[in-house]
Structure 1
Amino acid sequence: MRWVLGAAAGLVLLVGLGPLLLPDPVATDFAAILRPPSTAHLLGTDQLGRDVAARLLVGGRLTLGLTTGVVLVTGAVGVAVGLTCGYAGGRGGRAVLRLTDLLAALPTVLFGLLAAVVLGPGPGSLLVAVVVVGWTPFARQAYQLTVREVGQGYVEGAAALGAGRARVLGGHVLRNVAGPLVAHACVRFAGTLLTVSGLSFLGLGIRPPTPEWGAMVAEGREFLFAAPHVALAPSVAVVLVAALALVVGRGLENPAGSWTVRRGSSLPSSE
């Protein structure tokens, strides 16, 4: 697990500081179009002679930044809804849960198309499309965890001592379910990264010439046979970062055998 966390920290440093050591990611050099990887250009150049490595790292800031922002927003909304409904219970809580099922069944691309029509392609429409449905997995996870906790003695004791709902949820329940929720957030980070990159690839998110991993893959696909590095570099970056997030999430779910994964859930074991 330590090497995974070290790799994640190294990725953050690389994306944050790497562009300072590389050429301008938007500078064109028509004398160096579609050059293969070399000492001058570590990952080669693209169809406009731009350094692929520099664009990859600068694009990583945008791609990972958007993904992180989406996970934080959807996580906060979903956890708040799930905690509240799980604690309140009754028909209202179950009705909200049915709503999350309905939204989760709708494709994100559909919302991306609608947002692009209304707002125009760009980061705003991308964020709207992903956030609309992205909170639902967090809500279901938080709901299930809260339902398990509300019957515990410490919750009943806190309520008997006069603690309000916000105090019970924020000061007691959330503290005890935070572990699996953080693990779930890491797993959702991987899926969100693929969604953000996929929407940009389809032209519904970040548009060229701004470097972004999904948009870079879309630009480079035309040169897949003549210069495969142009599309492969951002594609491999997306896959590797998503895999790293999954490994971190699974490691947090089961750090020492105390968490078990059941049907894709991050719920604690009842053993």
Structure 2
Amino acid sequence: MRSRVGALLWRAGLAALLVCGIGLLPWLSRTDPALTVLKTRSADRDPTPEVLAGIRAQLGLDAGPSHLLGQWLAGLPRGDAGRSWISGDPVAPGVLQALGASLLLMAAALAVALSTAAAVCARTLYLGAHRRLDGRRAAGSGSAMLAALPEFLIASVLATVVGVQLGWLPALGWYGPQWTVLPALALGLPAGAVLGRLLDDQLPGAFAEPWALAAAARGLPGRSVARQALRRCVPGLLPNLGLFVVGLTGGAVAVEQIFDIPGLGRTTLQAAIAQDLPVLQAGTLALVALAAVTTGTARLAARRLIGPALRDGALRSPHRPTPTVHPLLPLAHGLPLAVVIALGLPRDPLALDTGARLRAPSAAHPFGTDALGRDMLARVAHGALDTLLLALAITAIALLTGVLLGLLPTLSAPLVDTVNAVPPVLAALLVTAVWGSGTTTPVLAVAVVAWAPLAAHTSALLLQERATLHLTATRALGAGPWYLLRHELLPAVLPPVARHALLRLPGVALALASLGFLGLGAQPPSPEWGLLLAENQPYAERAPWAVLAPAAVLALLGALAVTAGSAAGRGPARPKGGSATRRRGRHTTAAAVEQPSPAQESITIR
């Protein structure tokens, strides 16, 4: 009970700290809020001292940030979130309306994501149910490429092709259920591909457990075994599913911009740019509350699915290494990427040729040219160096931070909820306010939020691993906490989390790309991939190669990251019972490990 109260106070303190930091945003950025509000209200009006003084008096800016923040907080218990500095309208009804639109879009996108995840791991489930799974990952590289595609690129292609050219579905606006289809596909397809890959990573281990082999030997239907294997692996993914739900609500800024959806992410971004603090604070508070409810529900569902095994130690670890993928598979994806970089580096990415604008691919320009006549092959190759190095550095930092904080779930769980509620765009704005704009701004903004899914994954796997039989047996033999951590927990948890980090490597590159797409990352004439996509997106219908070239390279990066992680992270399966079991009392402990408990039977046979 005391720990729950402490966690609740920790969550409340983090939310208050975030809201207070947003309340200080104009003063941290050393900008005049009155000037920003004037430009947003009327860009043509001259910012004379008298006009600015009138705005300060109207908004109460002369009283200072502490007075404004206290006044705003005092109104929250009455449901009063203040009035917008731009429009003068009450904030609460507008934020609730934006939240409703985002929740509807999130529900549709979540349905698409779950369907996509089911399609990704369907082959593994089929092979496992028919006892033809050899331990290799069955999902192909197509899901990795899908996970690497930028959401805003999918949105742009769907809006242009399906909405405009074919006219099958509306491409702009938010007027009914049919307007949710295209944005839901843009958000749900990449998220479902990531979830499917994570699930497919665990299924071979679940099908190799003794209960599955015993069920197959008894002649139980393969469909029942597959269903229980799925139920066995889902608890480790539920926290990440909760993070995806929050991300689909507050992080869909680019998609909401493209489809003109009045969602919470777009509303929060516009308020941040205009420094409309009451709207920004209310929107952020709504995102934090949604994150706390969603992730709390996901953790409760995970505990319910694991059931009595948390108390009895009646599970076996599904995270032991399984046979490696074919070593030539990463080479098949890495070689084309290396060839593109090698061929493009000798070319000048900044050379202009206005007479060759938007040229189709040819021998002189294999990837075509952009709207200024610059060679796309050169720009993609030179942009690869910056994008890949930054993405690798951020992923390494996120992996280290995520594992360390994931080992302390009581401390990290509220922090993960709060950090995940902050869209990368808003994080970029906050970082810009504190550190100033520059080349490091997108790096810091992405690094601030990139570790949260890995920490949630680490905590979820630890929860399952602590309920395993071999850990219970090793602890009974006298092993201490540090021994269990070094020899049992970390070897079981690190490989899937490392593969998860590699799976998110293209996502880190995409987060940088999204900031560039929204004008918060690299600036022209940099050949950074996100900026390439943003610059050429208006010409997607006329010159699709200008968008497809950087998108194809991102897809190759995603496939390379996934297959390389599979090849590096898997090896021969270790003997049953754990390292300490093999070292001490092998026969008696092995018998204890193999003896099923009532809790295990209730989980596997139900």
TM-score (norm 2): 0.37
- 1:170 & 1:255 partners in 2: Cα distance? 19
Cross-structure match for 2:270: none
CA contact (8 A) 1:74 1:138 kept: yes
What secondary structure does 1:40 align onto?
A: coil
Q: After TM superposition, list the pairs within 5 Å mapping 1:216-235 onto structure 2.
A: 216-235=532-551
CA offset at residue 72 of structure 1? 0.6
Q: After TM superposition, list the pairs within 5 Å mapping 1:1-271 onto structure 2.
A: 1-2=325-326, 3-11=328-336, 13-14=338-339, 16-20=341-345, 22-83=346-407, 85=408, 93-150=409-466, 152=471, 153-154=473-474, 159-160=479-480, 165=482, 169-170=485-486, 172-242=488-558, 244-246=560-562
Q: CA RMSD for the aligned pairs?
A: 3.3
TM-score (norm 1): 0.76
- 1:220 & 1:138 partners in 2: Cα distance? 33
Amino acid paired to 1:6: L
- 1:127 & 1:159 partners in 2: Cα distance? 42
Q: How many residues align?
A: 247
What secondary structure does 2:356 align onto?
A: coil
CA offset at residue 172 of structure 1? 4.8
Describe the shift of the 1:73–1:156 C-alpha distance in structure 2 as closer, same or farther (beyond 3 A): farther
User: Unmatched 5+ residue regions in structure 2?
Assistant: 1-324, 573-602
Deviations 1:148-203 (A, max 9, x none): 4456144675744xxx74x6534553223222112211222232232121111111
Compare relative contact order (CA 8 Å, sep 6+) and give the higher one, 1 or 2.
1
Identify the range of structure 1 (62-71 vs 116-125) with the bigger mean alpha-carbon deviation.
Answer: 116-125
CA contact (8 A) 2:334 2:556 kept: no
Deviations 1:47-96 (A, max 9, x none): 2322101111111222222211111101101101112x1xxxxxxx4242
Cross-structure match for 1:88: none
Identify the range of structure 1 (28-37 vs 8-17) with the bigger mean alpha-carbon deviation.
Answer: 8-17
- 1:68 & 1:177 partners in 2: Cα distance? 21
CA offset at residue 248 of structure 1? 5.9
What secondary structure does 1:17 align onto?
A: helix
Describe the shift of the 1:168–1:238 C-alpha distance in structure 2 as closer, same or farther (beyond 3 A): same
Amino acid paired to 1:136: A
CA contact (8 A) 1:122 1:207 kept: no
